[in-house]
């Protein structure tokens, strides 16, 4: 018996001179390569790109919010500094005995100012204590001095002991003054 002859040769089918089978195979190759490109290169890139893009916009939004917060805080600090400029300047100044004598001369005649001690107060400030001996005409001078301290260029606290001793015409006043300033 004679075996049939099997041929693997692609048959040529031509329509108007165009090789249909060959073009169909090229088309199939094109589709396969396209799908492969999408699956291997484009789809993962798009997925990664989209995730990164979302992350980028989230980060950008965070950055804008943080910048806004920073600007608001900076503005607030500026306002706070302007509002409390007097206090901030007062706490920077050192105690000047002559200046205080001159300031207090309106209310009392200061005989002496003696520094007693100096210590750290609430971690950030220095408290220096002075004993002031002076002469006043009446206790009102003492009250007026305390009122005037509100407008003085230093932060001073009048503290105990306070002694009033009647003299012939005046009152000898001895008091403790605490000066507060920023620690350097």
Partner 1 sequence: MYSFTKPDKKPIFKEDTKLWVVFITISMFLYLSFALFLVIKTYLYNKDIKNYTNEIKTIKQKITTINNKKEFIYKEKTLYEDIMVKNSLMKDSIKNLLDLIPDPITLSSISFDKNKLIIYGITPTKDIYNMLMLPPLESIFTETKTYFYQMPNGWYRFNSVNYLKEKQ
Phi/psi at 156 (5° precision): -120, 140
> Near partner 1 by CB under 8 A, which window of 7-15, 99-107, 108-116, 118-126?
118-126
Please give the Cα distance from 94 to 155 (Å, whole number): 10
Site string for partner 1, 93-112 (x = CB under 8 A): --------------------
Binding map of partner 1 across residues 133-162, x = CB under 8 A, - = no contact: ------x--xx--xx-xx----xxxxxxxx
Binding of residue 183 to partner 1 (CB under 8 A): no
CB closer to partner 1 out of 4 and 156: 156
Q: What is the DSSP string of 34-46?
A: HHHHIIIIIHHHH
How many other C-beta atoms are found inside a 10 Å radius of the C-beta of residue 183?
Answer: 11
Which residue in the set 166, 168, 169, 184 belongs to the binding site for partner 1 (CB under 8 A)? 166
Alpha carbons 84 and 184: distance in angstroms, whole number: 19
């Amino acid at each position: 018996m004679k075996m049939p002859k099997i041929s693997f040769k692609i048959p040529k089918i031509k329509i108007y001179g165009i090789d249909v089978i060959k073009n169909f195979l090229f088309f199939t190759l094109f589709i396969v390569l396209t799908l492969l490109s999408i699956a291997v290169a484009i789809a993962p890139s798009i997925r990664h790109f989209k995730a990164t893009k979302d992350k980028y916009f989230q980060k950008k939004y965070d950055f804008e919010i943080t910048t806004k917060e920073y600007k608001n805080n900076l503005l607030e600090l500026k306002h706070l500094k302007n509002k409390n400029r007097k206090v901030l300047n007062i706490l920077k100044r050192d105690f000047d005995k002559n200046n205080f004598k001159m300031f207090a001369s309106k209310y009392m005649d200061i005989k002496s100012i003696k520094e007693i001690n100096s210590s750290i107060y609430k971690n950030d400030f220095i408290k220096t204590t002075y004993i002031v001996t002076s002469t006043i005409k009446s206790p009102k001078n003492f009250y007026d001095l305390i009122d005037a301290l509100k407008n003085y260029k230093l932060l001073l606290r009048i503290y105990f002991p306070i002694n009033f001793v009647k003299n012939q015409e005046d009152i000898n006043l001895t008091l403790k003054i605490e000066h507060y300033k920023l620690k350097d």
